[in-house]
Structure 1
Amino acid sequence: MLTGKMVYGHGPYKYTMVPGDSLLLDGEGPHGPLQLLELPITFLAITAK
């Protein structure tokens, strides 16, 4: 997480993300931003096969 604040969901779990936070997760299941709490929001997403 680079700027802003958001709630990120991964399956049944919710994580409040602020600058400096990171997640490592299995991208096969449902995941993504749920709530945008402080704008602007900037985050870096890296995917691998």
Structure 2
Amino acid sequence: MAGLLGLTRSLAGASRRGRPEDVAALLAFLVGHSASFITGQSGHIDGCWLLH
């Protein structure tokens, strides 16, 4: 199991845990003018831990 955890960590995009500021940055973008054409999306704010 330790090998799988090490592999997962090596594939992750961020080498740190998320912070509230990370979520706030996405929310600030979504409520701003630049996101006016974005509708019905879900955002994964997980530092690339969600592997498809």
User: Which TM bucket (shorter chain)?
Assistant: under 0.3
**Is the strand fraction higher in 1 or 2?**
1
TM-score (norm 1): 0.19
Q: Which has the higher helix share?
A: 2
Q: Which has the larger radius of gyration?
A: 2
